[in-house]
Amino acid sequence: MELASEALTFVCPRCHSTVAARFYGPCDTCRVHLRATLGGEAREIEVAEYEPKMNVTPNAVALKDD
């Protein structure tokens, strides 16, 4: 896999200024502004343990006592 090492010249999709960067996306100024306004603190979310549903019910023959 080849990493991008050369700077690309493109227009910032957010503020429409000309930018030279390794990857396409918001310019550094827009990125800082987005992190300040939209970024939040990381938090840990507790997820309930997975319990598979019982979709199949046993039939009468399987339950019949001999």
The pLDDT score that the predictor gives to residue 56 is 63
Per-residue pLDDT of the chain (66 residues; tens, 9 = 90+): 566 678 889 999 999 999 999 999 999 999 999 999 998 888 898 988 887 777 766 666 666 665
> Is there a domain that residue 65 lies in?
no
Please tell me the predicted confidence (pLDDT) of residue 58: 62
Q: Does residue 24 lie within any of the structural domains?
A: yes
Q: What is the C-alpha end-to-end distance of the chain, expressed in Å?
A: 65
Per-residue model confidence (pLDDT) at position 53: 72
CA pair distance 3, 20, nearest whole angstrom: 16
Q: How many domains does the chain have?
A: 1
Residue 59 within any structural domain of the chain: no
With beta carbons less than 8 A apart as the criterion, state whether 17 and 11 touch: yes
Look up the domain containing 32 and give its range: 1-40
Decide if 58 is inside a domain. no
Q: Does residue 62 form part of some domain?
A: no
- Return d(Cα 22, Cα 15) in angstroms, integer: 18
